[in-house]
Amino acid sequence: MSDVDRIPPRPEATIEAIRAIGYSFESAIADIIDNSLSAGSSNVEITLRSDDLDTFCAVADDGTGMNEDELREAMRIGSGGSRRVRLDSDLGRFGMGLKSAGFSQARRVSVFSKRLNGQVNTRVWDLDQLGTSDDWVALKVGSVNATQFAESQLEKSGTVVVLERLDGSLKLHEANLSSDEIQKVISSAIVELSTHLARVFGRLISRKNGPRLSINSHVVEPWLPFVEHSASQELPMEEIRVAGVVIRCRSYVIPHPEMLSNLNSTERQIYSEQLFDSQGFYLYRKHRLICGGLWLDSRHHKEMETSLARIEIDVPVDLDRNWELTVDKTRFRPPKTVKDDLARLAELARGKSRRVYRSRGVSRPSQVSSGKSRVPIVEIGTLRGETFARFNEAHPLVAQMLELPDRRLVRTFLGIANDAISQVVTKQSHNDSEISDTLPIPDEVRECARILFERFALQPHLSRSEIRGLMLSIDPFVNYPSVVEELFVVNE
């Protein structure tokens, strides 16, 4: 008597379970595209259309293609698994992407593939046929519609994945919709798909010789979380180590809409509307976006003032298990060992975003009578028609206060002070006046000058002349040049 009992899974029930993983239409297509890019494709064309026979979606590439044995293995449920050694170009992990993504959207998944100078090889998983046979039997012949389309796409080498009977997210199969209703569904799906692919593959398609993605012959333009602009600010890159592996983190503060003078009113409005939802962390795996536009710490929530903050994290594939990557590649769960580091990075980027966001619409640094520019310690401006005043967080003295350990106490003080000075300026003129040289110099001015001089002197990249220039350009020392000169004489 044998000690083992072979109990194979039922095909239809297994695939129905796979279909429920949770793919959206756009995430499913992105997962199929992963296979195309792993095969070295230069061009990937997505086709979504309806004709007299059926509505179908196809992903065609010009990659290396597969021979008969390779295609058979690729169509195996769980081909390779997450532990096998993969090439650097391989974006997969579980060996489930093509099948799980395809079945999540369609009842028939056909794959046609061709090696250079080879023949077209075909394998088809048909859920309805599997329910009839109750065995893991793949077909070697596709439908007439799918076959004709695939053959029109495969010139030299490549692979075409055709999804038919679309009963997934699009709900088009057996839906009894009119032609106009079907076209509305398709048009909406194309817009959402284009937006999704632009984000997910933005890094890859933005490269000089990167792959070209197109949907119904319209090229997908890349979208990146940061904005290449002179007003963008990049914080120093940080490296976090997990299990001996380095994770690189880059933080950005993108410009406030009012800084983007090159945009027209419509473009600026779109940019402004996207800010709130787009803030937060962006996790990349092999330059493919896994998830983005979220804060990975429950203590941090989306706020308008933090909407300029972006943090890019490159997660090495060696840490897939640590980050608990899901099958559909849409979610990561960070390991507990990095949560404090991520919270710290978030706090730094969010704080910087607040300072930049609050400075929009304020009056520009004024000119003193000598013609020199000044960095005001207090900013005065208008917001929605109301006059306000606040301490300038770009001022070195205020910036130093904000770096103190008890930042909450400092911010509480600044909030009270900003409110107080706003009430004062609404009753007075906003015109600056110079302080007479005959007035005595307050002791606080001398002490602040000394502290700031000592801080600047610790910066190796600043020369004495640069320090002098900086101090003579900021409040309140613009009005007390003698205090600055005294410091340089004393510290010769």
Quote the pLDDT of residue 24: 92
Provide the domain limits for residue 465: 378-490
What's the rounded Cα separation, in Å, for the pair 28 and 90?
A: 17
Residue 165 included in any domain: yes
Confidence label for 384 from pLDDT (cuts 50, 70 and 90): very low
Let me know whether 24 and 80 are in one domain: yes
Let me know whether 175 and 65 are in one domain: yes
Using CB atoms within 10 A of its CB, is residue 417 exposed (0-12), middle (13-18) or buried (19+)? middle
Let me know whether 89 and 213 are in one domain: yes
Residue 370 included in any domain: no
Let me know whether 195 and 259 are in one domain: no
Residue 364 included in any domain: no
Confidence label for 464 from pLDDT (cuts 50, 70 and 90): confident
Quote the pLDDT of residue 91: 46
Indicate if the pLDDT at residue 131 is higher than 70.
yes
When divided into structural domains, the chain yields a total of 3
Indicate if the pLDDT at residue 270 is higher than 80.
yes
Residue 449 in contact with residue 456, Cβ under 8 Å? no
pLDDT digits (tens, 9 = 90+) for 364-374: 444 555 556 67
What's the rounded Cα separation, in Å, for the pair 352 and 33?
A: 37
Lowest mean pLDDT among 135-144, 250-259, 359-368, 421-430: 359-368
pTM of the model: 0.70
Residue 44 in contact with residue 57, Cβ under 8 Å? no
Quote the pLDDT of residue 229: 74
Indicate if the pLDDT at residue 296 is higher than 80.
yes
What's the rounded Cα separation, in Å, for the pair 447 and 422?
A: 26
Residue 186 in contact with residue 49, Cβ under 8 Å? yes
Indicate if the pLDDT at residue 251 is higher than 60.
yes
% of the chain surpassing 70 pLDDT: 80
Let me know whether 69 and 117 are in one domain: yes
User: Of 326 and 443, which is predicted with more confidence?
Assistant: 443
